């Protein structure tokens, strides 16, 4: 994975410069705290299904693997869905703009299904979850930089009723 | 074919090295053309009665001159010709069309000359034209067409195709259309419509209103049908659209997203991806009897399928190796072979209409490339590098590719644009194709007339 390598190197450089001079700029420090291993960990774009229940999980470039943090979010969503059995949801899968359109449609579908599968293992029945991929067609952040892209690589759980 | 090219090259060499003018003018399109052929396109002559008729009918003054501009622009855009300024022309259009004074045309360094005549006959447009070899002093081609007056731009395109074919030995690509996705609005709320235009950017028509997201339109190579992806009612499905009647329908009855559609070379099948439970496989549907066949069966993403022109093979994009790569298989799904082995990721393979090459998008070290490789994966050649570009589509003669390119936006999302570009197979003659709005996902039609 080229991008993650680049990112890792960037972090290393940032870390080193912090050790050496302890004067890393505020901006890189913010980015540093918002991306871990190429996955967005901030709360900038996140909305909430209910108090303490984030609506989305984020992915590394080209990946559909759920991180520890994503699994934690999805368990909260599953618990909330079990408490609210009349609510159905749509899982929207998205990709960043740095890939071909058709592959990204497939990747978005794969990401949404990764989240759906996890909700199902925590007791949400399949017929309450529908899936749609938007590929790279519906970014939340329109910047062309690693932080913007990390916010766009996401699966969002949206109330359907 | 090889023999023919050899002759073509020999003629060119003779032409350059010899002062004798017994050889006919020819253009070699197999290399980047750094010395485009100087050509004079005389305004097509018309008599007063015809002039009055067409001015009334089309609200255009001097239709003959306008047709010659269409031809000139086509020739210039091809990169192979250098149309000379009409200011330097010494001979009047009507006289030149009867018998050019070749010395006059040679004087302005023209090697080929196009003349013509436009007449109104029974409220129809009759156009005759001749192509002349200036140095050899003889006629190379003479043809006449009759059509409805509103078709006048197409006449210009057909003439260009005939001239191109006569001078290069290959079919032209000027009487063609491009279908694409018109884009407007901010990046996070982009409005997309299907649009169609002539190859030179004129006669743009919008086929959808922008109420739902539409993507990846592709022409049927045998007729004026189009297949594309629409998010109608928020259900992403492959649709079939007849652009003459406007009638559209969903392709097949799939319980999930279908996408990445293309026609088979005989126009009878649609090949596409169907995504289910996080896995995308390739399917075909016969348009007439609606029979659906599953072509790939692999727990990876298989998408962007494209048939070879003989219909016997399919190239497609898969991440079964872990990353996006290009594969080739027999059209029944057997004998799958990976063909891309260079550094980076590969996507959007499209088989050339000539059969010998596959065009693709490549992502390597944060840059996007449009390239071509032979169908066995050998001979990779990158034609253009940019911040973002993808989705090449071949001109029907397999000599030019059209694709789309996006610019980088700043942190606020400003500075973003999406435009169509074309480039020759040689890697030369890269040009922006002007569209009314931002544009993406271009697909080139076959020649409308043959």
State the total domains in chain B: 1
Any domain includes B71: yes
Residues from chain B contacting residue A138 (CB–CB below 8 Å): 188
d(CA B376, CA A80): 53
**pLDDT of the residue at B33:** 61
Residues from chain B contacting residue A97 (CB–CB below 8 Å): 388, 406
In this predicted structure, the answer to whether residue B20 has a pLDDT above a threshold of 50 is no
**pLDDT of the residue at A33:** 78
Instruction: Tell me the domains of chain A and their CATH numbers.
Output: 39-159 (3.30.1330.60)
Any domain includes B233: no
Contact A102 B441 (CB under 8 A): no
Closest-approach residue (CA) in chain A for B364: A2
Q: B246: buried, middle or exposed (CB in 10 Å: 19+, 13-18, 0-12)?
A: exposed
Any domain includes B87: yes
d(CA B137, CA B267): 45
Any domain includes B429: no
Tokens for B192, please give them.
């997309």
% of chain A at pLDDT higher than 90: 77
Interface of chain A against chain B, CB under 8 Å? 2-3, 6, 62, 64, 97-103, 105-107, 109-110, 112-114, 117, 131-134, 137-145, 148
Q: Are strands B438-444 and B431-433 parallel, antiparallel or unpaired?
A: unpaired
Q: Are strands B269-276 and B279-286 parallel, antiparallel or unpaired?
A: antiparallel
Chosen for mutation from B210, B279, B301, B347 (greatest number of chain A CBs closer than 10 Å) is B301
B134: domain range? 32-168
d(CA A101, CA A109): 13
d(CA B420, CA B435): 8
Among B352, B418, B343, B351, smallest CA distance to B386 is for B418
**pLDDT of the residue at B80:** 94
pLDDT digits (tens, 9 = 90+) for B87-111: 999 999 999 999 999 999 999 999 9
In this predicted structure, the answer to whether residue A23 has a pLDDT above a threshold of 50 is no
8 Å CB contact between B160 and B70: yes
Instruction: Judge if ipTM > 0.85.
Output: yes
Using alpha carbons only, what angle is made at residue B111 by residues B105 and B114, rounded to the nearest 5 degrees?
A: 70
> Is the model more confident about B39 or about A6?
B39
Q: Give the residue-averaged pLDDT of B440-446.
A: 97
Residues from chain B contacting residue A155 (CB–CB below 8 Å): none
Q: Give the residue-averaged pLDDT of B42-62.
A: 93
Any domain includes B269: no
Using alpha carbons only, what angle is made at residue B361 by residues B81 and A67, rounded to the nearest 5 degrees?
A: 160
Mean of the per-residue pLDDT values for chain A?
87
Mean of the per-residue pLDDT values for chain B?
92
Any domain includes B113: yes
* Type and span of the H or E element at B327: strand B325-330
Q: Give the residue-averaged pLDDT of A131-159.
A: 97
pTM of the model: 0.90
d(CA B178, CA B200): 9
Any domain includes B82: yes
Neighbouring residues of B28: CB distance < 8 A, sequence distance ≥ 6: B8, B9, B12, B168
Closest-approach residue (CA) in chain B for A112: B278
Contact A102 B216 (CB under 8 A): yes
3-class secondary structure per residue, B249-301: EECCCCCCCEEEEEECCCCCEEEEEEEECCEEEEEEEECCCCCEEECCCCCCC
Contact B365 A138 (CB under 8 A): no
The partner residue sitting opposite B413, judged by closest CB among A3, A138, A143, is: A143
Contact A117 B278 (CB under 8 A): yes
Residues from chain A contacting residue B361 (CB–CB below 8 Å): 100
Tokens for B258, please give them.
């279908």
Any domain includes B6: no
Give the DSSP letter string of B184-248. ES-GGG-EEEEEEEETTS-S-EE-S-SSS-EEEEEE-TTSSEEEEEE-GGG--EEEEEETTT--E
Range in A112-121, B10-19, B251-260 with the lowest mean pLDDT = B10-19
**pLDDT of the residue at B412:** 86
Chosen for mutation from A132, A134, A142 (greatest number of chain B CBs closer than 10 Å) is A142
Tokens for A37, please give them.
């291993």
**pLDDT of the residue at B19:** 36
Among B388, B382, B392, B374, smallest CA distance to B343 is for B382
Range in A138-147, B19-28, B121-130 with the lowest mean pLDDT = B19-28
A119 vs A85, A112, A159, B161, B353, CA distance in Å? 13, 11, 14, 59, 47
Residues from chain B contacting residue A144 (CB–CB below 8 Å): 408-410, 416
Taking residue B330's Cβ as centre, other Cβ atoms within 10 Å add up to: 14
Chosen for mutation from A31, A101, A140 (greatest number of chain B CBs closer than 10 Å) is A101
In this predicted structure, the answer to whether residue B75 has a pLDDT above a threshold of 70 is yes
In this predicted structure, the answer to whether residue A114 has a pLDDT above a threshold of 90 is yes
The partner residue sitting opposite A113, judged by closest CB among B277, B406, B416, is: B277
Q: What is the CATH number of the domain that holds B87?
A: 3.40.50.10070
Residues paired with B45 in a beta bridge: B117
% of chain B at pLDDT higher than 90: 90
The partner residue sitting opposite B301, judged by closest CB among A3, A106, A141, is: A106
The partner residue sitting opposite A101, judged by closest CB among B215, B256, B411, is: B215
């Amino acid at each position: 994975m080229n991008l993650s390598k680049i990112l890792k190197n960037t972090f290393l450089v940032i870390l080193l410069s912090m050790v050496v001079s302890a004067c890393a700029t505020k901006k890189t420090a913010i980015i540093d705290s918002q991306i871990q291993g190429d996955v967005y960990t901030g709360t900038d774009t996140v909305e909430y299904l209910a108090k303490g229940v984030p609506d989305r999980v984020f992915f590394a470039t080209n990946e559909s693997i759920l991180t520890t943090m994503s699994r934690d979010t999805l368990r909260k969503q599953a618990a909330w869905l079990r408490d609210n059995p009349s609510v159905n949801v749509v899982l929207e899968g998205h990709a960043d703009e740095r890939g071909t359109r058709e592959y990204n449609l497939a990747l978005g579908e794969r990401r949404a299904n990764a989240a759906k599968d996890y909700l199902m293992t925590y007791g949400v029945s399949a017929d309450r979850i529908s899936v749609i991929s938007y590929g790279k067609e519906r970014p939340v952040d329109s910047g062309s930089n690693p932080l913007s892209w990390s916010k766009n690589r996401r699966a969002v759980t949206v109330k359907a009723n | 074919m090889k023999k023919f090219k050899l002759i073509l090259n020999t003629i060119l060499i003779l032409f350059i090295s010899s002062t004798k003018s017994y050889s006919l003018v020819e253009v070699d399109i197999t290399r980047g053309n750094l010395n485009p052929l100087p050509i004079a396109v005389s305004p097509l002559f018309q008599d007063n009665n015809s002039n009055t008729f067409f001015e009334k009918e089309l609200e255009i003054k001097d239709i003959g001159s306008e047709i010659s501009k269409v031809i000139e622009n086509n020739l210039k855009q091809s990169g192979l010709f250098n149309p000379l300024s009409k200011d330097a022309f010494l001979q009047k259009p009507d006289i030149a069309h009867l018998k050019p004074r070749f010395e006059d045309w040679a004087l302005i360094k023209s090697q080929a000359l196009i003349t013509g005549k436009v007449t109104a006959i029974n409220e129809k447009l009759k156009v005759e034209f001749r192509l002349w070899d200036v140095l050899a002093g003889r006629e190379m081609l003479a043809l006449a067409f009759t059509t409805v007056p509103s078709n006048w731009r197409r006449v210009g395109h057909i003439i260009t195709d005939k001239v191109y074919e006569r001078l290069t030995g290959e079919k032209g690509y000027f009487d063609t259309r491009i279908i694409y996705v018109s884009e407007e609005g901010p990046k996070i709320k982009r409005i997309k419509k299907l649009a169609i235009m002539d190859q030179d950017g004129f006669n743009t028509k919008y086929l959808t209103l922008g109420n739902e997201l539409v993507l990846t339109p592709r022409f049927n190579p045998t007729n004026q049908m189009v297949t594309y992806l629409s998010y109608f009612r928020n259900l992403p499905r492959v649709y079939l659209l007849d652009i003459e009647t406007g009638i559209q329908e969903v392709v097949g009855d799939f319980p999930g997203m279908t996408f990445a559609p293309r026609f088979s070379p005989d126009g009878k099948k649609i090949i596409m991806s169907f995504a289910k439970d996080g896995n995308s496989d390739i399917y075909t549907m016969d348009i007439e009897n609606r029979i659906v066949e599953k072509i790939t069966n692999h727990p990876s993403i298989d998408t962007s399928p494209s048939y070879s022109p003989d219909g016997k093979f399919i190239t497609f994009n898969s991440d079964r190796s872990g990353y996006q790569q290009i594969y080739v298989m027999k059209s029944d799904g057997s004998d799958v072979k990976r063909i891309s082995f260079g550094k980076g990721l590969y996507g959007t393979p499209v088989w050339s209409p000539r059969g010998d090459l596959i065009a693709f998008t490549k992502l390597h070290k944060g840059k996007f490339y449009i390239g071509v490789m032979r169908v066995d994966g050998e001979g990779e050649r990158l034609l253009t590098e940019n911040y973002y570009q993808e989705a090449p589509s071949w001109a029907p003669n397999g000599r030019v590719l059209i694709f789309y390119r996006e610019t980088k936006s700043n942190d606020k999302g400003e500075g973003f644009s999406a435009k169509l570009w074309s480039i020759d197979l040689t890697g030369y003659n890269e040009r922006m194709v002007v569209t009314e709005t931002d544009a993406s996902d271009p697909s080139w039609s076959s020649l409308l007339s043959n």
